[in-house]
Amino acid sequence: MEEDHRQSLRRARLRLVKELKVEPLWDLLLHQEIFTPDMIEEIQKAGTRRDQARQLVIDLQTRGKRALPAFIWCLQETGQNDLAALLSAGGDQPQLHPADLKPVEIRTRSEPRDPRSVEENTRRNAETVYVLRTDPCGYCLIINNVNFSSVSGLSSRAGSDVDCEKLEKRFRSLRFEVLTRRDLKAQEIVTELQSLATRDHSSLDCCLVVLLSHGCQASHIQFPGGIYGTDGRSIAVEKIVSYFNGTHCPSLRGKPKLFFIQACGGEKKDRGFEVDSDPSAVESDASPIQVPAGGSDQTDAVASLPTPSDILVSYSTFPGFVSWRNKCTGSWYVETLDHVLEQYAHSEDLLNMLLRVANAVSAKGEYKQMPGCFNFLRKRFFFTAK
C-alpha cells in the first residue's frame, strides 16, 4: 500500500473503529481479493466489533496498491457512505473501474464464504484447507551450509549441495520463488531470515524456509534444536521461527509458514535393529551439545515468543539424535522428502506426506533415524504443482 493511503487510514482510524460495520464487509473483501479467507478469519478472532474494526484497519495497511480504493468501494456498497467519503477526502484516490472489480455473487448466510466452494473438489474448501491462489504462491528460502571455518570444529557437509539442488527444483515445480544462500555465518543467517520476514507477503499465500546445516540441542519452550552458522555459532530454531510470527511479519498473519530442517538434534545414535548397509559413505550432522550461557539473548527471545499459529516445523530427526547424510546422494531425509513430494504432492496433504517420509527414513541404514514435526497449522496444507 502507498504511504499516502496508509496515512488516510491512520487519520480515519478512530472513527472507523467507532462506526465501521464489519459484518457486511467480509464477503465483499473476500471477493475483491483484498484478504484471503484465512486472513478474514484471523481478523474475526480479534473479538468485539470494535476489535475487529481496529484489526481490519491495521491489516489493510499490509495489502497492495488497490486495497484502499477497493475498501472504499466496499464501504459504498454496504451503505457506509460517510466513512467512504472520509477516506476519499484524505487524498486523491484512484477510482476502481468495473474491470478492476470482481463480480459479487449474493449468497445466504448459510452458504460458505469460500468462492471456490462451488467446485466439486471439497478438499480445497477454505474452512478446512489453506487456499493457495497466487503464482508464485510464496517465497522459499534455502540456506545451505557446506563449508565451516576451522575454528568452528565442524566438518564440511559433503552431499548437502545435492540436497540443495533437489529442493530448488522441487519447490520451483511447486510454484515457489526460490532464494538460495550458501555458507552463511550465524549473523548472516539471521540477516537473511529477517530480510525475508520484512518483505511484503501480502500478495502471496505462504512462506517456506529450508535449513541445511550442522545442528545441536538448544534451550527451548516450543521448538527444540539449534542450527549452526559456518562460524560455529548456533541459532535456536525457536528464534528462527519467531521472526515469522504475526508480530514480526504481519503480512503472513493467518498464512502457513513451513520450515524444513536437515540437521542433527543432538549426538545420540539409535542403532535400532541391524540391517545390511555400508556405513562408510554416511556422515552425521551432529555437533557437541551447547548449553546457552546465563544472560544470553537466546533465553529472552524464547521467553517472549507468542503462541505459534499457522506454523509447521519438520525435523529430519528426533530431538537429541543425529541425522544421517550420504556424501554422494545427500541426506536420507531430503532424498526421501523430494521423492515423496514428486509422487504425492498433487494429491495428498503435507502431514500425510510427512508420515510417508518418516516411515521410509525410519527403515534406512545401520543406525536409525526418525523424522518428525511440530505442527501448529490450523488447516490442511496442499501444495499446488505446476
What is d(CA 339, CA 347) in angstroms, rounded to the nearest whole number? 14
Q: Which of 74, 137, 214, 216 is catalytic?
A: 214
Strand intervals (E) in the chain: 138-144, 176-182, 206-212, 215-216, 226-228, 234-236, 257-262, 282-284, 311-315, 324-326, 330-331, 372-376
Cβ(146)–Cβ(160) below 8 Å: yes
Reference 381, options 221, 212, 208, 192; nearest CA is 208
Query: Residue 77 class from Cβ within 10 Å (0-12 exposed, 13-18 middle, 19+ buried)?
Result: middle
For every residue of 1-19, DSSP letters joined together read: --HHHHHHHHHTHHHHHHH
Q: How many C-alpha atoms does 190 have within 13 Å on its Cβ side?
A: 12
**One-letter amino acid of 143:** I
Compute the distance between CA of residue 90 and CA of residue 100 in angstroms, rounded to an integer: 22
* CB-count exposure of residue 308 (10 Å: 0-12, 13-18, 19+): buried
Phi, psi torsion values for 66, nearest 5 degrees: -90, 5
| Residues 245-278: b if buried by 16+ CB within 10 A, e if exposed | bbeebbbbbbbbbbbbbbbbbbeeeeeeeeeeee
Matching residue, cell 507477503:
201
Any catalytic annotation for residue 214? yes
What's the full length of the chain, in residues? Answer: 386
Q: Give the span between the Cα atoms of 132 and 209, in whole angstroms.
A: 17
Residue 220 bears catalytic tag: no
Which one of the listed residues 206, 207, 249, 264 is annotated catalytic? 264
Query: Catalytic amino acids?
Result: 214, 264
